[in-house]
Structure 1
Amino acid sequence: MDGVFYYFLLTVIIINLAPGPAMLYVLNQSVKFGIGKGLKAAAGVEAGVFFYVICVSFGLVVFFSHFPLVFQAIKIVGAVYLIWLAVTAWPKKSNKAMTTEEAKIDLDARHVFSKGLLINLTNPKIGLFFVSLLPQFIPAHASPAWLYLLAYGLVFNLGGIIVNSAVGMLGLKMKSLLNRAGWFDYVPPVLFVIIAAITIGKMFL
């Protein structure tokens, strides 16, 4: 394995550890209804991620096979989008966003899996995120391209499964930990900027 893959693994770990609506949903189901419901919620949200992994992997390969230059264009657009994500993800208030988000989450114990699935299926930003992120780690002449995209996407999906399953099992302990680690909110946006800068640097310098 080369350094790029280890860099990707680090990115996967950091991004999957960053609290978001899906993680908050899993956390609340676990705290409110127990570990079993938390794990079902985790399975649901990661099933939604898997859907986008498949769509991005087999959708982009069509472009790569017919228009090789599109790969470079996607990397440029993806780098710009990652910078935009960094700007929008930068913490704006000192108070914890978790309290606000938690108030918006439905804690009904029924259909936990399907609700977790819908959280990600109805969020097109996830698809855009994969389109932006995955090509940054794939060589320009990778063949077959779809296999690289699928493999990297599945690694990202696996990381999410591990993290969200842990959230589902730890419940209250994880909630307390995330509330104390306010500094971690700054890590993902900084990482997005670094990835974008490296991509642009390789292409133009």
Structure 2
Amino acid sequence: MPQTLRARALLLDMDGTLVDSTAVVEKLWLRWAEPHALEPQRVLDVVHGRQGHQSMAILLPARDHEINLRENREMLAAESADVDGVVEIPGADRFLAALQNAPHAVVTSADIALMTARMGAAGLRVPDLAITAESVSASKPDPEGFLLAAERLGVAPADCIVFEDSAAGIAAARAAGMRVIGVGAAAAAHSPDATVPDLTAVQVTVDADTGTVTLALN
């Protein structure tokens, strides 16, 4: 049975929510992990949704964080240069088009260059407001990025709905006091308020007078 939710603003993760970049993310991170003899599944469990330097700090807790920051810059550059296989999550283009007249933002752990590269590879419009790695001092699961987006949109956190796929992202949205719609089969394990298999399952209506967004989830 369809579920209906209403909000004054939508905040959208990028990787796994708007674009499918799984193949390149996992390829580059497993390549990074190999010389450290890290267990591959452990790496994949950690890296999704977080900024790279935080993932490195979790995986190599004894290492000097300056090394993590340097290698994170190298990883971001490599990811920006490799968009082979990056495509839109089904329904993302239509979904973003429906939000043209509604308050919304992308909130991503990517930096500006990587966000631009992946959204471009997927053929997607970048929202006017983009909260990227450069915008914040703390990575998801810290709520800073979502709270900053709500502040810039002039909308209370409780009036925002977040679309996310990862454990770190869903935790960040919850910590911000926002409702969360999980995108993709794996998101359900992290207890979002609702789940959809992809964005084709979301119908968007925007009230022209108030800007209120009504979401019908199929």
| TM-score by shorter chain over 0.5 | no
Structure with the larger helix share? 1
Q: Which has the bigger relative contact order, CA under 8 A and spacing at least 6?
A: 1
Structure with the larger strand share? 2
TM (norm. structure 1) is 0.30
